[in-house]
Structure 1
């Protein structure tokens, strides 16, 4: 190996053995010596006390109350004359609104919520018992206003995030129209920002004239209003004012809005031919003063410095945002086998020459932080679908998990999504045609899965897919040319296999493919230009040509990356972290250039890591 490359390789880090020497956090069942990451540790002294934690037990107990019907002590009366049974203790613990009501009258048997729609109340109360809330485009607005009314903050935030991703002119106008009622301040701010940047679209919609005057005024007064000219702002004011006879006859309303139009910046011809001849302006003395101010500004150019006001200042053009591709590293385990909660994004060098020009300090990645998902489990799976980073499943203590969390780059936050139908860990996931597929995995160390399901991000719903031909775990899943390929894994104990199957959504069936050249477990895979690249044990790398239906062996990586992760970035393959042999964790980021068929050590991670996710996202900067 060249000397320069040796200098830049990260030293592998020895793992610390867990207290139970027979338990490996990356295992498919009974542990084997080949999976041990370090020599046997000295058996520690037994603690004098322990804290037992049973994951999900509280949720199971609440679910057992049958959505509030069993042993209920209060009825909620809704607008639809629906009665919903619940428990005072659970309501009080979940909402300050309920706590105040019940504390003021502890003996109450029913609570009047006749200003809230029945379905929204039923869904939200169900959420308190099951931690599951179904949000749809049709019911989101009622759900949000009810969550605000009942002071259910977590449900409110979930609905807000759902709506922010789906803002359209009709939704924005509906939100602004109801701004005076129970409404979300955060969603209102987003709706106003949308109106600022898409002013012509918003004011061109027939529903614009139904906005309250206060909302129209807030939009018109903004310095961030994105318009080509003030003539567009004037036309919007007149459209709103003339929509109802009462408004047209109320001169104070017209002046209230027209004073925010920057008439001095309008063209002189427009002032004379349009504004000056408008009957509503002619009969309103205050509006006439605004017109005269604009005319003087144009006529007395030498005195403009003395006429400065808000109306003579140009509106600020919104800052242009740029989209950049970044690599996101999500979760994982450190050398002590502890979960790493921090996530980060980085933009690595894309050629060895660029990396070699960096000094040794610059060679270590200086990442930008990324908000972290609220998960306490490990052995989950990370994949990208529609520019969302999706964390699915995992192992929480000794229980498989069905939770799904998605990072939304446009909002810079994580959102819990609909759970999988089957709890699983050490499974595989990948995107094809806008759907996220999850396949295989374990329920526990005795039950391996063959089930497959897929998630639709738009509907936030899961559906079953044809099961795999065999139960399998620790495999890798990759999409290529509209098909899903599941590669390697373990079917019995921890013994790796070389099996490969492909799934075609069009025919809805799995088909055997040529086996891997060698059995692999804990490999990672990516695809580009019809070729699937698999990074396996001991630096082995394979390429599968989907058109020729055959495997080939490529040059090995410079270090081991078992249970590492890989992604495509700017047309090149990047692999990071993973197990280097049986006792060490790799912290090197390597890059493969398909044109030259070579691997380069391109960067060093801030910490050694394995069992993580590595995906390429597009973010606004």
Structure 2
């Protein structure tokens, strides 16, 4: 029997011969493209009309968009029409599929990014965004903001935040800065990597933003002052500059108490007590935090270096059916159920300080609902209270909880994720039984639309990963896994997981999909598996020592470091 390609690669992965072989192979493939030899598909592109020849195998390997296109109804056509992408941009991106390089300029970078998103070329998206940021002086930051709003590109959004953080002094002096909304400004000011020489620089920027429109921003001022490292100011500054600000008296009092009474510090609930920069070495490293059981749960952190799980903390909470979300370094416990009571409470548990804080309660009491974050807004979706709920409410710091458009179909015990600037909710129970229906929420139009149905009724884990949505089922002996393509609005099966019964969840960490939960067949533990996309199989990692796993979060490692 012939040796499989994966076995061959494993034997030769580190050899010079393998590198030379790959170089020779890619050179030959590129020469076929240049000479238009062995072409098996041609694209007819408009504006202006052009014919772009290519090889199906290469394009399918480079992009899930082309892979799904060629598997579809029109995939066998010798000529395929492409609309809404200019011919020169399309040809540049086809070349990128062969070479990993594209001619990006200030004039075409917006069109390149738009087209790369449509064609699901992740590396081309990254290249376009990197080019834009490194040429920001020519492209302008204002144009980058407009492009991010138009494309809702998460890679661009993160790069802009990094740019604003690293170039804060310049950004804070721009006219655009004066129109930042409070959520965006908070996101920048909380960063440990904020590039300032002294904490007063951040305070001065807040004052400039505040003075631009005092009446409208007076209530928002304390939210921004709370982002400062107040304990780094001296007592005189706190008394003369912070304390007189409207709504900031308590913040100043806490900081003064922290400085003057060291023995009382464990009882003072402060968000930041250390100077910026102490965690910059670790801020990019992320790991998994697992919430085990519902009532009085344990938190276990994953040690990637040693491939083992370690207990991080125990949380005192005497009710269940709440839903949790990670927000600004804290776990938010939203809603819940105990006895005959359904709760609307929202409580925040600071991961680093291990302290509780109460937040404004929801309008509607809920249990078994869904919670997601999108554009710094928290959404509570569906659930039940006596009957099945279809209502949806959204929380922002400035507006509190408000109702938005309800679900098409009420449901509880469903799964929800955010992807491409939208919310997807799927499965759950509609009051009559399990459902396979899927809905998508567009925050711009405040509307829900139906999507293609899942194939499995029972599921226990859902995650967004590399532009797709993955769902783990729990009905079969082996957990089937299906994947949703939002571009094509289709579901497809991938390889199953061989794990026992129990709750499961999945997360995306280090560009890999992790499935966590389900009982190990060899011991009373929860399984942990990572999807190997190259070999299309699941690889086991160190099991969780707890048998009941409720939820998992991807968190920055510095949040888990000792105080």
Q: TM-score, normalised by structure 2?
A: 0.50
1:577 to 512, 517, 521: 517
- 1:5-53 per-position Cα deviation (integer Å, ceiling 9, x unaligned): xxxxxxxxxxxxxxxxxxxxxxxxxxxxxxxxxxxxxxxxxxxxxxxxx
Matched with 1:342 is 298
1:326 to 274, 287, 298: 287
Matched, 1:396 2:338: yes
| Structure 1 residue matching 2:436: 3-state secondary structure | coil
The number of residue pairs the alignment matches comes to: 320
- 1:183-202 per-position Cα deviation (integer Å, ceiling 9, x unaligned): 8765237689xxxxxxxxxx
Please show how residues 81-92 of structure 1 align to structure 2 within 5 Å. none
2:485 to 521, 545, 551: 545
1:484 to 409, 412, 423: 423
Matched with 2:504 is 564
Distance in 2, matches of 1:183 and 1:450, equals: 39
2:403 to 464, 468, 472: 464
- 1:399-420 per-position Cα deviation (integer Å, ceiling 9, x unaligned): 1111112333464534221111
1:370 to 313, 318, 335: 313
- 1:375-433 per-position Cα deviation (integer Å, ceiling 9, x unaligned): 31112112234554322111122211111123334645342211111111111112222
Matched with 2:155 is none
| Structure 2 residue matching 1:492: 3-state secondary structure | coil
CA contact 2:303–2:309 (8 Å) conserved in 1: no
CA contact 2:220–2:398 (8 Å) conserved in 1: no
Q: Which has the higher contact order (CA 8 A, sep 6+)?
A: 1
Distance in 2, matches of 1:550 and 1:478, equals: 16
Q: Measured at CA, do residues 593 and 390 of structure 1 come closer, stay the same or move farther in structure 2, by a change above 3 Å?
A: farther
Name the larger-Rg structure.
Answer: 1
CA contact 1:455–1:461 (8 Å) conserved in 2: yes
Please report how far the alpha carbon of residue 487 of structure 1 lies from its aligned counterpart in structure 2 after TM superposition: 0.6
Matched, 1:501 2:444: no
Matched, 1:601 2:540: yes
- 1:511-538 per-position Cα deviation (integer Å, ceiling 9, x unaligned): 11000012125x2211122100111113
Please report how far the alpha carbon of residue 565 of structure 1 lies from its aligned counterpart in structure 2 after TM superposition: 2.1
Distance in 2, matches of 1:137 and 1:560, equals: 55
Matched, 1:175 2:243: no
1:429 to 344, 350, 371: 371
Q: Measured at CA, do residues 543 and 497 of structure 1 come closer, stay the same or move farther in structure 2, by a change above 3 Å?
A: same
CA contact 2:321–2:368 (8 Å) conserved in 1: yes
- Structure with more of its chain in strand, by fraction: 2
Q: CA RMSD in A?
A: 3.8
Q: Measured at CA, do residues 532 and 182 of structure 1 come closer, stay the same or move farther in structure 2, by a change above 3 Å?
A: closer
Please show how residues 60-79 of structure 1 align to structure 2 within 5 Å. none
Q: Measured at CA, do residues 551 and 411 of structure 1 come closer, stay the same or move farther in structure 2, by a change above 3 Å?
A: same
Distance in 2, matches of 1:481 and 1:585, equals: 38
Matched with 1:526 is 463
Distance in 1, matches of 2:556 and 2:452, equals: 34
Structure 2: runs of 5+ lacking an equivalent: 1-216, 261-273
1:443 to 385, 397, 402: 385
Distance in 1, matches of 2:480 and 2:325, equals: 22
Structure 1: runs of 5+ lacking an equivalent: 1-135, 142-158, 193-223, 227-316, 334-338, 350-361
Matched with 2:70 is none
Matched, 1:473 2:417: no
Matched with 1:268 is none
Please report how far the alpha carbon of residue 592 of structure 1 lies from its aligned counterpart in structure 2 after TM superposition: 1.7
1:590 to 521, 524, 529: 529
Please show how residues 92-107 of structure 1 align to structure 2 within 5 Å. none
